Structure 1
Amino acid sequence: MIAQQRWRIERLAAEYTRGLAECHIACWREAYRGLVPDHVLDAFDIERRADQWERNRVRYPDSTHVAIADGTVIGFASAGAPHDESPVAAVELNALYVRSPWYGSGVADDLIRAALSSEESVSLWVFDENPRAKAFYRKHGFELDGARKIEEFTPALMVRMVRAAAVPLP
């Protein structure tokens, strides 16, 4: 039973880039089938994705965290400098994915805490037709800010969510 299994959160290391690529592609296929065209989801290549993650790991060594259970990457989060032309926050959460058998287990909560500091404002883009993800982000203090855009490689609408930096307690 998943609830009894444990995981650990680590910064992405070279030994996990292929596992991260496998997890990334599997998560996209699990979460977005029917929202993203099948030909896009089916075209993902594990080797090419692993190479991209390895380049990101080297270039941005502290930006990606992985959740590991029994030696397998079961989720990941990646955050860094905002990609928006006019950023509305100090940091952008670029990705947060967990394999579907781990939904509701707490893995995503641990990943978002590892990837983001409460001391900085954060923005993210999420598919408008992804109520599960939007509810998760709301639980973690994010709110829709009204910004919208079309995703780069599919006609799906993306909406931006923002979380303000926490006010330090006296």
Structure 2
Amino acid sequence: MTGATLRQMTENDLPAVLAIERSTFPFDAWSEGMLRGELADQPRTRHYIVAVAAGEVVGYAGLAAAGDQADVQTIAVNAGHQRAGIGSAMLRALLEEAGRRGATAVFLEVRADNPPAQAMYERFGFERIGLRREYYDDGTDAIMMMRKLEEAGNANG
């Protein structure tokens, strides 16, 4: 990852996160209220991080964890900082947090029309386990993926 550091997301990060959210997911962006709700559940069942480069939030990611299961809620990187390893670094951090919280499996949904994200998840050992038809607001299908943590041994992808 080039020149970006990861830290816990706070409410002060919401303006920058919302800008990335709306540009990355124009058809089904989360609202400010939804993001505030996620942050309100930190650290009980949620873990949200931001990637910061040159003092600017350039990416964010979130995890929901309960019992032995965790779900990657979201990962997004500002278009100008994609393909620099930031998404991978954030995913690695989420997997490590899931392991710390006792999860044995991590699940996610990824847009069927986003091959780069699918490839990243596959590099980290996620396997396709199903399809949710017309899951996203624009009618795009979601590919459901899962990674077992106890078999992976580590979260380094």
- What is the TM-score of this pair, normalised by structure 1? 0.74
Segments of 5+ residues of structure 1 without an aligned counterpart are 30-39, 83-88
Q: 1:7-156 alignment to 2 at 5 Å?
A: 7-29=4-26, 40=27, 49-61=31-43, 62-81=46-65, 90-117=69-96, 119=99, 120-156=104-140
Instruction: Name the one with the larger strand percent.
Output: 2
Q: CA RMSD in A?
A: 2.5
CA distance in 1, matches of 2:57, 2:147: 27
Q: Counterpart in 2 of 1:86?
A: none
SS in 2 for 1:138: helix
CA distance in 1, matches of 2:20, 2:86: 14
Could you tell me the percent identity over the aligned residues?
20
SS in 1 for 2:113: coil
Segments of 5+ residues of structure 2 without an aligned counterpart are none
**8 A contact 1:20–1:50 mirrored in 2:** no
Q: Which amino acid aligns with 1:90?
A: Q
1:152 CA displacement: 4.5
Point out the structure with max Rg over C-alpha.
1
Q: Which amino acid aligns with 1:50?
A: E
CA distance in 1, matches of 2:33, 2:52: 20
1:50 CA displacement: 3.0
Number of corresponding residues: 145
SS in 2 for 1:60: coil
SS in 2 for 1:17: helix
CA distances 1:22-60 after superposition (whole Å, capped 9, x unpaired): 11112224xxxxxxxxxx46xx6xxx8334322321223
SS in 1 for 2:31: helix
Tell me whether 1:163 sits opposite 2:142 in the alignment: no
